[in-house]
Amino acid sequence: MSTLRKFLEKCNIDAEIAYEEPMAAHTSFRIGGPAEAFVKPRTAKATAALLAAARDFGVPVATVGGGANLLVADAGVRGVVLSTELLRGLSRRDDGSLYAEAGLPVVDLVRSAIRDGEAGLEFAAGLPGSVGGAVYMNARCYDREFADALLGIAYLDPLTLEPATATVERDAWAYKRTPFMPGGALAGALILGARFRLTHGDRAALEARAAELEADRATKGHFDYPCAGSVFKNDRSFGRPTGKILDELGFRGRRVGDAMVSPKHANIFVNAGRATASDMSVLIAQAIAEAKAAFGIELEPEVVTLGDF
32: left (phi over 0), alpha (psi -120 to 50) or beta: left
180 near ligand FAD, rule: CB under 6 A: yes
Contact 29, 228 (CB under 8 A): yes
Residue among 71 and 98 whose Cβ is closer to ligand FAD: 71
46 near ligand FAD, rule: CB under 6 A: no
Check residue 298 and report its DSSP letter.
-
Residue among 67 and 201 whose Cβ is closer to ligand FAD: 67
133 near ligand FAD, rule: CB under 6 A: yes
Distance CA 242, CA 184 (A): 25
Strand (E) or helix (H) holding 137: helix 131-137
Strand (E) or helix (H) holding 111: helix 106-115
Judged by CB under 6 A, the chain residues 222 through 281 that form the site for ligand FAD are 222, 227-229
Residue least distant from ligand FAD (Cβ)? 133
Tell me the closest approach of the beta carbon of residue 8 to ligand FAD, in angstroms. Answer: 20
Residue among 154 and 287 whose Cβ is closer to ligand FAD: 154
Beta strands in the chain, from DSSP E residues, in sequence order: 15-22, 34-41, 61-64, 70-72, 77-83, 90-92, 98-101, 118-119, 140-141, 144-145, 150-156, 163-167, 190-196, 199-200, 227-230, 255-256, 259-261, 268-271, 304-306
Among 41, 76, 129, 243, binds ligand FAD (CB under 6 A): 129
The letter for the amino acid at 7 is F
Q: Is 83 a catalytic residue?
A: no
139 near ligand FAD, rule: CB under 6 A: yes
Sign of CA dihedral 196, 69, 5, 18: positive
Q: Which stretch binds ligand FAD (CB under 6 A): 17-25, 31-39, 126-134, 164-172?
A: 126-134
Q: Is 290 a catalytic residue?
A: no
Tell me the closest approach of the beta carbon of residue 39 to ligand FAD, in angstroms. Answer: 13
Number of residues that bind ligand FAD (CB under 6 A): 31
66 near ligand FAD, rule: CB under 6 A: yes
Catalytic residue among 28, 83, 230, 281: 230
- Please state the φ and ψ torsions of residue 305, each to the nearest 5 degrees: -100, 150
List interacting residues with ligand FAD (CB under 6 A): 28, 63-70, 84, 102, 127-130, 132-134, 136-137, 139-141, 180, 190-191, 222, 227-229, 304
What are the residue numbers of the active site? 230, 302
